Structures are given as C-alpha cells and as structure tokens.
Structure 1
C-alpha cells in the first residue's frame, strides 16, 4: 500500500536506534504511551514498578529522576510533583480525613500551614501546633494521624528534637512526615538517623532548591521506603492528575551530579558569613543550627554527624531599627537579590516579622525584624562586603 507523504511524516518508516550510551539519559516527552499489543495493555497494573501506561504515571525520564532522588534521600520509592508545596499537599490529601488531627511545628513552612488551615475550614481537620524544641509540647490524641517535622525551620532555623519527636510518634503509631528541603538528603538520612537508626515515614523535598540548583525549575518529591505507603500516595497522585514535565525532570537530573558540591560550598560560605555577622552590632541574634548559641544546636549535632548544614543564615535586627529601616537595608544590597527560595547560584534576602509567622511564644528568639540570607555561589567575601555596605544605610 502506498502511504502519502503526510502519513509518512507521522509514521516514520525508519527510526535511528533509540538507545546509545550517553552521560545524560535520553529525554522522553510523552502523554500517550504506545502499547506493543493488547497483552501489554491488559497485563499491566498500576502497582508495577515502572507502569508505562500514560505520561502522568511516568516515563523513563521521570522514573530515572525519581529513582535517583529516592537514592539520595536514603529511601526506596519516589513520586514527583510540580512543586514542593504540591508534594506537601499530596501527603496531606492522602492521609488526612474529616475529624483527623495533624500536628505541625511552630516553625513550619508557611504555605503548608495555610493548606492545613484550609483543610480545617473545609473538611474539619484539626490542626495542632507544637514547639519543635520541646517534645512535651507534642501531646497527640487518639485522633492524631500525622506529625509534620521540619529540620531545620526554613526561617528561624531551629533544628528540632528530631529523635525525641519521632520516637514519641512511633510509640503511638502516628505517621511522620518531614519537609527535608533544608537537609536535601545530604545533611542527614531521614530514613536512618541517630544512634538508634530511626526512620521517618515520608520525606518531602522541594527539588526546586538544591537538586535544581538554577533557580529556574519548580518540582517536588515524596519519598518513602514503605511500599504500602507508596501505593497509597500513588493512588492519590494519580487521582489528582499530578504530573511533571519531562523537560523539567531532565534539567534536574542534569544538575544532580553537582548537587553535593554546591550544597557543601554554600554551607561553608554560610559559616563564613555567620562568623562575620555575629560580630556586627546591628544584630541582636544570628541564627544557624551549626552555631552553638542557636536553639536546637545540640539536636543538629545528634542528627547531622558530618556537620553539614544548608546555606541559610538568619539575623534579627536590633529593635531600634524600624521596618522601613530594614527595608532600606535590603534595597541597598546589590549581590543579594530580594526573593523567595534558595539553593540557586544567586544569593537571596527576605525579611519577616516574627509575630506574623509564629503561633506559640518564642522565648529563645529576640524581638525585632528577621532577615534571612540565602547564600548562592558568589565568593563569601563579596557577600560580606555587600552586607557591610548596606548596613551603612542604617548608620546614616
């Protein structure tokens, strides 16, 4: 049968061999997946390790990235989502129902709290807040289904009593989930930490940060080493139509080889910045888990044996400086750009009023405006000089 040129363009009579050995894996873009025959169609099941049935379920590109993220985090199974917040919402939607109780740290990632409060208002989910430094403040009930952890808090950077909290939750069969974006699977292994080799049930990671590394890709992951939990999460993932772009997955896959190098470099730069910031009279408090004066330092040492820490440092300005003064300081920075997120090549700065982001009393924190510095890949001396010049605006 003679085939028209138009049909030949769609059903190419000749294809180059599709598998060659390359440094980066091939990129697959797909919504429709072609089945070889009806046996392949009907003999597949959504619980197959690699269910190639539709683009939302996965392609070799997305499964490869998921496998690598799971390996980095120390887990076995990974699902990918369009953002870190989407990954968090997947966990909440999967495991919380009407009347259930969820406990969150007072230094929780703000959008997670917003999502949980939305679930409270719409579906009757009970949201309880605990002090991440005080295990006794976590008082679960028979209705408690989920404990959210964050190590360290993304703004005030307290490292929680992770060992004590997880042991208490496990004693009462409460599911544990951690926002592990700060640790990135490098600072500690969420599935094997502490002298007793404890494990958190679910690790959520904003791949937007360190895995991407470029400040240009949004993505999140949900990792577990429990197949039953993974299947529950996968069903919710599928029902909600959660999917990611193959192009975005390939971009992050390309960045993974340098992630630990970037993480360690930014961590070391943050420590240099920390030591300089502590000598400046404009700040009443400098916050970083590796600093012995910071809340949660002892818990950080227990869980992070290699002394790794993310490239984040927060400062609290002296109360004599007004919000307008500190806005002027931020505007005067040139290398630090004003923006959310971290883990990219460009250093960022963001300011917060503590009373707007905390629920419980914070005796361990000074009062005043907080500014968080997110360290990029610039030379740390240049970043110090940038802050030094901007501080002059407060003395004029």
Structure 2
C-alpha cells in the first residue's frame, strides 16, 4: 500500500515484534562494548561490516537506536544511507573532508552558514583544499569551475536572510560539470524541502534544530543519495571516530515523529508575525520566503511544501543601540543563537556575517526571530511593545546629539 508521506515518516524505524510484543518507541540501547556469543559470530559480524553492512560490532558503530533514526532520515529525505554526527557543523566538516582531497576545489554559495568559512580557514586551507564563494543569483558557476573543482555546496533558504536558490538549475549545472552537489537542508528539516529529489547528491542537517525540536540535544546528519558517495562518507566517518549517544538518537527520533505538526504551527505563527511586522513603521523589510513580496517567493512555492518559524527584519531607522534596546525589551523571546525548538528566540545578525552575503543590500541593523509555538497574538504584542521601547530610545539618542 502506498501510504502518505507523513504516515511513512511515523512508521520509519519502528521496533519489530519480539516474542509477540513490541514497544511503541525504539528502546535506548546504550553500550560501548558489544559482546559476541563466539569467535565465529565475531568474525562474521566484522566481515559483514567490512562489506558495508551497518551492524553493531562496537558501540561507536551504533546500536538499534541509531539504526532506527538513520532509517527515519532515509525515509524523510529519500536517501540511500544516513550518518549521524555530533553537531550540524561536524556534518558539514565531515562531508567536505570525505568528498574533497588535497589540491581540489569547491564552489560554495556565499550565503551559507557562516561557520563553514571557519572550516575553510582552520582546516581545509592546511590541506590545500580551496573554496570559491559565489552569488547564486548572479554568477554562472560554469565560468567559476576549474579543472580541479569537485564539489558544489548550497544552502536554501540561506542563513540569516533566507535567500531561496534555484536548486534544480544549480544542481543540473553542477552535475553537468561532474561535481558532487551538497545541500544544507537544516531550514527545511528534510520535511519541507527535498534536495535529493531536486538534484543534490548529499543533504546535510543540523538535527539540533527542528528534528530535535525541544532545544535539548546536539546532532548533525548526512543523508547520501547513492552508494558510491556513501562509501566515501563511511570511510571518513569511521576514521574520524564520530559517534552520537543513544540517548540523543532517541530524542531526535522522538522529535521527528511530531515534526509535521510542529512545522505547520511554526509556519502559521511566523507568517502571521511577518505580515504584522511588514506594516510596522519601524520595520523596513521582512525576510521570509512565504511572503508574496519576498524575491524568492515563486521558487519557494515551486520547491517547498511549507515554511518554518524563521524570519529576519531590517529596521527602518534604528541604529545598533536601538536594535539592542528592542531585543532587551522582549519578554517572550529568549536571546539565543540556535532555533528550531518550541520556543521563540531573537538574535542580532552580526554585520560581518551579513557582509558575506551578496544578497544583502541594506545598511540598518538586522534581527533574526525564531517564532515558536506560543500564541501568535501574544508574540505580536510583545514585538510591538519592544519596538515602541526601542523607538523611544532612538528618539532620546537623537535629542542628546
């Protein structure tokens, strides 16, 4: 029977029956050492692992808890194999190290998650691996590719400003050049967006965010579309000694079960807040692809099934001090760097990170909001009073000049 996607997601990784019964949720299997019934069994399991089979021959290699989450990620993304990492950043670093060799080159969209640039400066440069950052909207990657270019790295929507990329077109261009196409799918959480179906070979996640959904775990995931690249990832993954705890795998799997309903509510709340802020005199621009006025709205409607709780605002006249006053006046928004949990968060966008984006054309401070699952009218009232407080501070600062 061809079940609905949501149904398949809820069923993925479900425990099998044993002696006629089974728990609803996969058990948390914690171990470092795996015991073998005999040396023959030990040899057989190691041989199966050497042949690429995912078996629990040592705690670092994962247990049934990890296998269930990996299976759920494969269902979520339509992938061939999933690798779980300790964080989203480690998923990015592992992917780059696995798929690039010394002397090779990659093309990277300039609006990607900013810490990727730290991977380049602190690690890749030492290995003689070079990156070129490009504007997805303006640059033709065929003119930027070199004989040693091997990889195209994309993120859509982009970090901070949520620029939507034409992933099918970029992926087709990358494939025509013989490049491996990698897409960061943290914004879409694997549910709202399906890069592997749009032409990417690899999809990376910060499962810390919407997959976990409760701000209580750190995890990354790498979902690979084909066996050959999965083999390259497996070698790097094992050599780097990466592992996640069974407890975190259990929490991520539990969060994934409620992902569809949580994302739907986040999307509704964020759109209500975004529309309200669009009409506010102190807000020059709202960055949110679900808004019809957003430059990427048409691509978002074509390639995505919904939106999440993220939006950013550029102020119309506030300086840095008034922007800080706005943030500090909020009562329902915590000041925090992550997002994807049930709670609302706020963060000032660092000017240096905005400057990395060719998409950024503004001059005023930008604040990123994560709209949580609170009542949207309460969030709007809190934003209004904070904007009023910041406006008073801006007026006072002008009067003292």
Tell me if both proteins adopt one fold, taking TM over 0.5 as the criterion.
Answer: yes
Alignment of 1:259-338 (within 5 A): 259-304=259-304, 306=305, 308-318=306-316, 320-338=317-335
Q: Deviations over 1:239-261 (max 9, x none)?
A: 11100100111111122211110
Residues 92 and 116, structure 1, Cα contact 8 Å, conserved in 2: no
Structure 2 SS opposite 1:222 = strand
- Offset, 1:291: 1.8
- 1:52 pairs with 28, 49, 56, which one? 56
* Alpha-carbon contact 2:318-2:391 (below 8 Å) kept: no
Deviation at 1:134, TM superposition (A): 3.1
Mapped to 1, the partners of 2:318 and 2:189 lie a distance apart of 35
Structure 1 Cα separation of the partners of residues 138 and 226 of structure 2: 28
Q: Which residue of 2 aligns with 1:164?
A: 169
- Residue aligned with 2:190, SS: coil
- CA shift in 2, pair 1:161/1:135, >3 Å: farther
Match in the other structure for 2:367: 371
1:371-391 Cα distance to aligned partner (Å, 9 max, x none): 111111111111111100101
Please say if residues 285 and 366 of structure 1, whose CA atoms lie closer than 8 Å, have aligned partners that are also in contact.
no
In structure 2, C-alpha distance between the alignment counterparts of 1:168 and 1:161, rounded to whole Å = 11
Look up the match of 1:253.
Answer: 253
Instruction: Give 1:24's aligned residue.
Output: 25
Q: Which residue in 2 is equivalent to 1:155? A: 160
Separation (CA, whole Å) in 1 of partners of 2:375 and 2:257:
21
- Distance (Å, rounded) in 2 between the aligned partners of 1:65 and 1:395: 47
The structural deviation recorded for 1:50 is 2.5
Contact 1:134 1:161 in 2 (8 A): no
* TM-score computed with the length of structure 2 as normaliser: 0.89
Whole-Å separation in 2 of the counterparts to 1:257 and 1:93:
31
Hey, what's the Cα distance between the residues in 2 that align with 1:232 and 1:386?
A: 49
Matched, 1:38 2:39: yes
2:10 match: none
Q: Residues 387 and 184 (structure 1 numbering): CA distance in 2 closer, same or farther, change over 3 Å? A: same
1:206/1:360 CA distance change after superposition, 3 Å: closer
Secondary structure in 2 matching 1:110: coil
Deviation at 1:225, TM superposition (A): 2.1
Q: Look up the match of 1:87.
A: 91
Q: In the superposition, relative to structure 1, how do residues 234 and 227 fare at CA in structure 2: closer, same or farther (>3 Å)?
A: same
Normalised by the size of structure 1, how large is the TM-score?
A: 0.90
Q: Distance in 2 between matches of 1:353 and 1:257?
A: 34
Match of 1:103 among 104, 107, 110: 107
Offset, 1:269: 0.7
- Whether the 8 Å CA contact 1:117–1:127 is kept in 2: the answer is no
Report the RMSD for the aligned CA atoms in angstroms: 1.7
Q: Is contact 2:92–2:204 with CA below 8 Å preserved after alignment?
A: yes
SS of the equivalent of 1:68 reads: helix
Q: Which residue of 2 aligns with 1:134?
A: 138
CA distance in structure 2 between the partners assigned to 1:294 and 1:354 by the alignment? 21
Is the 1:314–1:371 contact (alpha carbons within 8 Å) kept by the matching residues of 2? yes
Q: Show the counterpart of 1:12.
A: none
Aligned with 2:75 (options 71, 78, 83): 71
Where do residues 101-250 of structure 1 align in structure 2 (5 Å cutoff)?
A: 101-136=105-140, 139-193=144-198, 199-250=199-250
Q: Distance in 1 between matches of 2:136 and 2:270?
A: 23
CA separation of 1:18 and 1:334: change in aligned 2, threshold 3 A = farther
Question: Is the Cα–Cα contact under 8 Å of residues 110 and 358 in structure 2 kept in the other structure?
Answer: no
Contact 1:135-1:161 at 8 Å conserved across structures: no
Deviation of 1:355 after TM superposition, in Å, equals: 4.2
SS of 2:255 mapped into structure 1 = helix
Secondary structure in structure 1 of the residue aligned to 2:48: coil
Question: Which has a greater percent of helix?
Answer: 2
Matching residue of 2:341:
344
1:27 shift after superposition:
1.2
1:18-59: per-residue Cα shift (whole Å, max 9, x none)? 984111111100111112212222123324433221111111
Listed one character per residue, the Cα deviations across residues 65-102 of structure 1 (whole Å, up to 9, x for unaligned) are 11101111121210100111111111011112222111
Distance 1:233 1:103 in 2: 19
Q: C-alpha displacement at 1:360, in angstroms?
A: 5.5
Question: Partners in 2 of 1:177 and 1:121 — Cα distance?
Answer: 20
- Check conservation: 1:333, 1:387, Cα contact below 8 A: yes
